[in-house]
Structure 1
Amino acid sequence: MKKWYEEQSVDNDIVISSRIRLARNIKGFYFQERMNRESAIQLVNKVTGLTKDLELKENQKFYECSVNKLRDIDKASMVEYHIISPLLAEKEVETGLIVSQDESISVMVNEEDHLRIQAVASGMNMEKAFLDADRIDDFFSEKLGYVFNERYGYLTSCPTNVGTGLRASYMVFLPALNISGKIDKLAEEIGRYGAQIRGIYGEGTKGLGHIFQISNKTTLGRSEKEIIDNLEKIVDQAVLQERKRREFLLNMNGDEIEDKVYRSYGVLKYAKSINTIDALMMLSQLKLGMDEDLIKLKEPINIHKLMMEITPANLQKSLGKSIGRGERDRYRAEYINKKLPQL
């Protein structure tokens, strides 16, 4: 089965993915701040015990596990593939996960809230992400029952999530805006309309490889549709600005950009050692070159997928063992050498 990030869709030269995340808490359990270990274990067992029922409802395969019992490398790998959040990977209390076979749906248990339901779709397709998350949400609501207040909506550990409990986000590739130093200005502009720009793995992370997340800031006082429609308009404008900036840069410095694209390809194809940051930056330059028809390869390649595959944990998982940084950099170079098609 294809993973969500292996699918091609409209505008995915800029919009890599659309994601919906729902924060929910279950009746009969203290919120995370007051939950003891026994209750945490009970909650994980109660939620993951519904996996088979969920499979029957969704007519697809789901897997479940206790995240805190996994190896650090496995948890890091799932963060790098955006299956779980960095917070869930770091928690030492009992935590659980249910994930679909195509990795587009994941249910995190005992993260900041009892449940974090996440649905991801390739490209600019927030409608699909929302419909998927909404179905999963209805399933767990019926089976478990949520903490809900008629005045305030869904109650959550963090006040900013109270209301719909919905966080919608687009993962976007903004090389031209970032190279031009326009990201801070964009962040200021969209902030006035209730959205924010975060790093590649969410709050407190950096925009590696020119990849960022644009998401709504507030959930209280607006319906799900209002939040999603507002964010879509904001991202439409960000896409427009990125396209205009690309056109400007190519008109002004086309030869220089083309040279950087080919230099990046040469390093990626023939380097003997390369670290994560350099590899992601050069892959992003290659992606820009491919998107703008500055460079042509003999065979198609999914650059975003390759970006995730060469991150530290995923690289070691593909090798089947843990290795040090120096050896990892050499293996990363070899891995990219083999994956990149010829010109």
Structure 2
Amino acid sequence: MDLGQFTDHALSEWMKQEGPESDIVLSSRIRIARNLRHYPFPMLATNPQSREVLEKVSTVLNNEDLASISHFNLMPLSEMSELDKRVLVEKHLISPNLANESRNGAVILSDNESVSIMVNEEDHMRIQCLTPGFQIKEAWDLANQIDDIFESQLNYAFDEERGYLTSCPTNVGTGIRASVMIHLPALVMTHQINRILSAVTQVGLAVRGLYGEGSEASGNLFQISNQITLGQTEEEIIDNLHSVVLQIIEHERAARNTLLAEARHRLADKVHRSFGILSHAVILDSKEAMQRLSDVRLGVDLGLIQGMSSRSLNELVVMTQPGYLQKVSGGPLSSEERDVRRAQLFRERFAQK
């Protein structure tokens, strides 16, 4: 399978499925950081060393147990254009760090894009599993299965006291990051979001934006993940995240019900105004597009807007990002050209409603 199979389409196969609580939780993710014993971390490795790491990792792709999970595609970043790398970042299949700074970096993707294994990023391996909706435990089961297969074939860097050794000290121990992408517009509208997120950070969880560390929240989308990787088992980390996210979901549902009961007309006006702007705007920057799309998503979820699917809105999140816009346009676009193309795309899509 060539790279175009992953960059020509905005929606990954796994994103086309409906998951539990999908009106609030867009996706769940497990990421596992692993390094090979006797090799320097990627930031200190020489070119020959990082090439050897890639070769060792790639040999595991022939493993029968791994093949029973999916067919996997190995793609070196050196063979990708900058635009293709950006699209993979926008689809959350690789990290900005791998796209920008990797030496002999590569990504291994399952056919449906639910599994992404980054090689020679900050760590030698970062195994990522994605599921639709609130399925963090299911994502962990898959990631753990894949990790066991690689560990049976490779010699991981592991310490009896510290656990799995990683480039960044904050990942030492289990090396696991469990996260959910969650849409919280009602908590934002009712001015409860700061209190909720403050409580989240006090129980050892981190709150980030759409693209993880260093990104800000956009379109009322927040990434909730564990901060602690040492001193807890993987199951304890996941159970803690699971229970906290369930509480956040309850608060968001309560806020949505309050808005419907006490300010239904104002809420309907807000979501339909955003729908109107997306349907008719001639120029639209990414920040406003994400906010308006958040309003429309809330309107769809609450039944205030009919005839649109969450799947189509998920697709638009990726399709209107800068990299994908330029990909479908056939080359680089200026900022204003992207804003014009973004608005055109919304007009076309919303006209089909």
Structure 1 residue 298: deviation in Å?
6.5
Of 154, 167, 184, the residue aligned with 1:157 is 167
Q: Secondary structure at the match of 2:181?
A: strand
Which residue, 125, 131, 134 being the options, matches 1:121?
A: 131
Answer yes or no: is 1:305 the counterpart of 2:312. no
TM-superposed CA distance for 1:300, in Å, is 7.0
| Counterpart-to-counterpart distance in 2, 1:76 and 1:141 | 30
Specify which of 155, 158, 167 is matched with residue 177 of structure 2: 167
Give the deviation of 1:130 after TM superposition: 0.8
Aligned to 2:282: 272
Instruction: Give the ranges of 4+ consecutive aligned residues of structure 1 lying more than 4 Å apart after TM superposition.
Output: 298-301
Paired amino acid for 1:166: I
2:63 aligns with one of 47, 53, 60? 53
CA 1:248–1:78: 2 relative to 1, 3 Å: same
For residues 112 and 72 of structure 2, what CA distance do their matches in structure 1 show?
Answer: 9
Give 3-state SS (helix, strand or coil) of 2:251's partner: helix
1:126·1:228 contact (CA, 8 Å) conserved in 2? yes
Change (3 A) 1:298 1:248: closer
Question: What is residue 218 of structure 2 aligned with on the other side?
Answer: 208
Which residue pairs with 2:305 in the alignment?
A: 295
Q: Return the match for 1:71 from 81, 84, 89.
A: 81
- Amino acid paired to 1:129: A
1:44 corresponding residue in structure 2: 54
- Aligned residues: percent identity? 39
What secondary structure sits across from 2:214 in the alignment?
Answer: coil
| CA–CA distance in structure 1, aligned partners of residues 65 and 332 of structure 2 | 34
Judged with a 3 Å threshold, the aligned counterparts in structure 2 of structure 1 residues 242 and 156 are, in CA distance, closer, same or farther, namely same
Select the residue among 167, 177, 180 that pairs with 2:187.
177
1:4 to 14, 20, 43: 14
Given the superposition, is the C-alpha separation of residues 297 and 341 from structure 1 closer, same or farther in structure 2, using an over 3 Å criterion?
Answer: farther
Q: Mind listing any 5+ residue stretches in structure 1 that lack a counterpart?
A: none
Distance change in 2, residues 1:245/1:298 (3 Å): closer
Match of 1:86 among 83, 87, 96: 96
Q: Secondary structure, in 3 states, of the residue corresponding to 1:39? A: helix
Residue by residue over 1:254-283, the C-alpha shift from the partner in whole angstroms, topping out at 9 and shown as x without a partner, is 212211111111121222221211111111
The number of equivalent residue pairs is 343
Question: Which residue identity does 2:198 align to in structure 1?
Answer: E
Aligned residue for 2:328, secondary structure, equals helix
Displacement of 1:342 after TM fit?
A: 5.2
Which of 328, 333, 341 is matched with 2:343 structurally?
333
Sort the Cα spacing of 1:193 and 1:298 in 2 relative to 1 into closer, same or farther, 3 A.
closer
Q: Deviations over 1:239-265 (max 9, x none)?
A: 111111122223332212211111111
* Equivalent residue number for residue 229 of structure 1: 239
Instruction: Tell me the residue number matched to 2:8.
Output: none
- Say yes or no: does 1:108 pair with 2:118: yes
Aligned in 2, Cα 1:10/1:43: closer, same or farther, shift over 3 Å?
Answer: same
Cα root mean square deviation, aligned: 1.9
**Residues in 2 aligned to 1:30 and 1:264: alpha-carbon distance in whole angstroms:** 51
Kindly state the Cα deviation for residue 59 of structure 1 after the two structures are TM-superposed.
4.7
Is the 1:55–1:61 contact (alpha carbons within 8 Å) kept by the matching residues of 2?
Answer: no
Pairs within 5 Å for 1:130-149:
130-149=140-159
User: Which is worse superposed, 275-284 or 243-252?
Assistant: 243-252
SS, match of residue 50 in structure 1: helix
Once the 2 structures are TM-superposed, how far is the Cα of residue 90 of structure 1 from its aligned partner? 1.5
Look up the equivalent residue of 1:83 and give its one-letter code: L
Deviation at 1:225, TM superposition (A): 0.8
Segment of structure 1 superposing worse, 164-173 or 142-151: 142-151
User: Structure 2 unaligned runs (5+)?
Assistant: 1-10
2:254 aligns to what?
244
Q: Which residue of 1 aligns with 2:7?
A: none
Give me the TM-score of the superposition, normalised by structure 1: 0.94
Q: 1:324 aligns with which of 323, 326, 334?
A: 334
